[in-house]
Amino acid sequence: MGWRIGVIGYGEVGKIFARGLKDQTGDWVGAWDLKFDDAASRDAERSHAAANGIEACASAAALCERASLIISAVTAANTLAVAQEVARHVRPGTLFLDVNSASPGAKTQCAALIDAAGGHYVEAGVMTSVPPYGIKVPMLLGGAKAEELAGVLQGWGMEAKAVAEQIGVASAIKLCRSVMIKGLEALVIESYTTARACGVEEHMIPTLYETFPGIDWSSQGAYFFSRVAQHGKRRAEEMREAANTVAEAGFTPFMAAAIAEKHDWVALQARSGVFAGLPRDAAWQDYADRLLQTLSKE
């Protein structure tokens, strides 16, 4: 018997998983997102789903009625709300894969809800950006059914590895890494833009190549600027979950909290149109100049 795969959250990641799994398995794939009922986005989102062979479900309840595997792919801030909604409707025995960047504490709460309702909660720590990899993005799984689900996903060509039966381990790995990766993004944006303002980037950037010769600091800088400009709000939410993780471990999250603020600030500039018209392959200097022009007007 084939699988029936339901994806909750039809954003960038949800679309990638839904389309990729439809192509890979040929099974029924449905999706549910609040945007399906929003007048401003309904037609475009439902049309996208239909064009990719995805059934746009009328509600979370309708999706739960059909799905034997549910994938939650929403923002970190909505992780618990989705688990609460699914717990009201999930059919016993349904696997629930939570790929959101939420703290171990939040994932533990979600697991309790899903398991109490008769479902089987599995957490996933998605270890890098999804778009370059698609459904083959490396994922670490945790939970009582992690090993079983990892085998299913591997059969679909996915890079899934079970790391623990305990909920929270995979998320802790993911979010400790996020402090480094998202922190590096925030540092590059602040360092490069300041160097640009001071007119010293041609002297400063080469010192990075000397210290870390394995990194192309110019192209990597451009990638960091572009990703934060495009997804800063989502990254800020993830970093707040990373801050929660640090706090859950007993430390004050000075760095994680500051990183979240930097990502939020860049996202605000993007929403204000600061980066409007920049091509996808724009140099980091173009992003920095737009930020500096905005600051000069304040």
pLDDT, one tens digit per residue, over 2-25 is: 899 999 999 999 999 999 999 999
pLDDT, one tens digit per residue, over 57-84 is: 999 999 999 999 999 999 999 999 999 9
Q: For residues 101 and 37, give the distance between their C-alpha atoms in angstroms, rounded to a whole number.
A: 25
pLDDT reported for residue 1: 58
DSSP string of 175-206? HHHHHHHHHHHHHHHHHHHHHHHHT-HHHHHH
pLDDT reported for residue 36: 97
Beta strand 55-56 with 28-32 is parallel
Do 172 and 104 contact (CB within 8 A), yes or no? yes
Regions of the chain where pLDDT drops below 70:
1, 298
Domains delineated in the chain = 4-165 (3.40.50.720), 171-297 (1.10.1040.10)
Burial of 43 (0-12, 13-18, 19+ CB in 10 A): exposed
> How are strands ordered across the β-sheet holding 95-98?
55-56, 28-32, 4-8, 69-72, 95-98, 120-126, 139-142, 160-164
